[in-house]
Chains A and B, each alone.
Chain A
Amino acid sequence: AQSVTQLDSQVPVFEEAPVELRCNYSSSVSVYLFWYVQYPNQGLQLLLKYLSGSTLVKGINGFEAEFNKSQTSFHLRKPSVHISDTAEYFCAVSDQQGGSEKLVFGKGTKLTVNP
């Protein structure tokens, strides 16, 4: 079974500052990794994913994440945030070997970008 830990429940940051949202996972098998963003009263939007290949993944809206297998981490970064980046961010994993494609989510990190 997998588990996902998002270490920070809330991250306040000023506009144009860099931000890192941390995600660690636990799994006995290889996993696929995802970051989703949720704006208020909306569904989840895929920011980026790691399925294979380069461990540095670039996504939409200027976000990127790096898969670190030895540290079982997949931290999300953005060099300069905007007010519009204020949202809830979810890290998720799925089992590479299983056929169900179920996602295991972290509890989410609320990013608040202040002017």
Chain B
Amino acid sequence: GAVVSQHPSWVICKSGTSVKIECRSLDFQATTMFWYRQFPKQSLMLMATSNEGSKATYEQGVEKDKFLINHASLTLSTLTVTSAHPEDSSFYICSASGSGRSLRTQYFGPGTRLLVL
């Protein structure tokens, strides 16, 4: 139980294009979803927190117009990197928490590797 998926696992795009990453909770309702960025050999950096049906709350220093987050349902959140540039290349990981065994506990997706050329 408490499985989170992400799609795609890998994406390569040209500079200036937009990329959408999906995060789904497969067997529980995720009232809250989180988006992280991880640089090589470093810990996770929280980018934003989203609650179903509400606007996302972004961490300081994260551009909300560049990293668009939508949490339209209790099982799906999307992160869109708009006008991507090479410095946006990174490993993006989502997590979700909700009720039951996911209460007060974040379960993580497998991550999405983004490479911007």
Report A's interface with B, CB cutoff 8 A: 32, 34, 36, 41-46, 49, 51, 90, 94, 100-103, 105-108
Q: Is the CB–CB distance between A51 and B46 below 8 Å?
A: no
Secondary structure call for the B interface: strand
Q: Is the CB–CB distance between B49 and A100 below 8 Å?
A: yes
Contact with A along B12-48 (1 / 0, CB 8 A): 0000000000000000000010100000001110100
Q: Is the CB–CB distance between A108 and B104 below 8 Å?
A: no
Interface residue ranges of B26-81 to A (CB < 8 Å): 32, 34, 42-44, 46, 49, 57
Q: Is the CB–CB distance between A108 and B43 below 8 Å?
A: yes
CB distance from A112 to the nearest CB of B (A): 14
A residues in contact with B93, CB < 8 Å: 43-44
B residues in contact with A107, CB < 8 Å: 42-43
Q: Is the CB–CB distance between B104 and A51 below 8 Å?
A: yes
Closest residue of B by beta carbon distance from A103:
B106
List the 4 shortest-distance A-B pairs measured between CB atoms, nearest first.
A44-B108, A43-B108, A43-B110, A43-B111
